[in-house]
Amino acid sequence: MTDLSVDLVAFVGLGAMGGPMCANLAGKSPVPVLAYDLNADAVASAVRAGAVGAEGLAAVAEADIVFVCVPGEDETRAVCLGPGGLCDQARSGQVVVDCTTATVAVNLDVAEALAAKGAYFADAPVARGVPNAIEGTLSITVGADKETFSRITPWLECMGSDVAYCGPVGTGTVMKLMNNMVLFENVSALAEAMAIATRAGVDRDRVFELLGQGSADSFALRRHGSFMTTGEYPADLFPTTYSVKDLNYALALADQLDVDAAGARLVRDRFSEIVERGLGHLYSPVVYELFDGK
């Protein structure tokens, strides 16, 4: 780390993604890392990884750089803009980095509130999922002014192997929403391909192996396809309810920009049906259940 002005960092939100991200940050940081979550067990896990437990946002606000990773826009608003939130307690020179997949609107609102205190904001949502969060090999897309980006990059590199500057505040979120939109459309297409191929007589265990040998190969095929092959969908990865949330954010942005994102709407409707069936807590490859057995 080259930024000697940073004496303390903090991490808020220790869920499926935030927990391992905080663990990597604590393990690689040369300065103490405060960890806070409403779940005491999650905080205890972060402490075992080398972080220092914080009792609330007031303690977290003492940090020079504060990372946030919560489920979505509502939680970001509560943590950052709510009474006693990070923006209320911000001080000049402090940086808040939101790694949540949220919306451009909340990014701009938080940035404005922080700027009024002389503080800075970056949206830095993360991609590649829980296994890469554990490995510290996330892809991180960042929206910020260039000076803030330079300041936070060494810390983001504790958690990700690819840290990309996208432009001003909000652009990191735009690119994350597009990443997820394309990913989920691929997952839906894989479900269609599995259904067609197996009904046409191809062995279920070989469908994605064979697709992977051609131009249909992709991250989604290699990561998500394996679960469609086995028919076992984990509940400790990214739940389909979160996928629906991200698709809704992406579709709202498309509507604002007058883009007819028909493919994304179809996938959102399919994933919503999965949620309605009571399977929303499972990983998104469970969308194959819409085809399997019909």
Q: Choose the catalytic residue: 28, 117, 176, 294.
A: 176
Interatomic CA distance for residues 125 and 99, integer angstroms: 4
Let me know if 213 is exposed, middle or buried by CB neighbors in 10 A (0-12, 13-18, 19+): exposed
Q: Is 294 considered catalytic here?
A: no
- Mind telling me the catalytic residues? 176
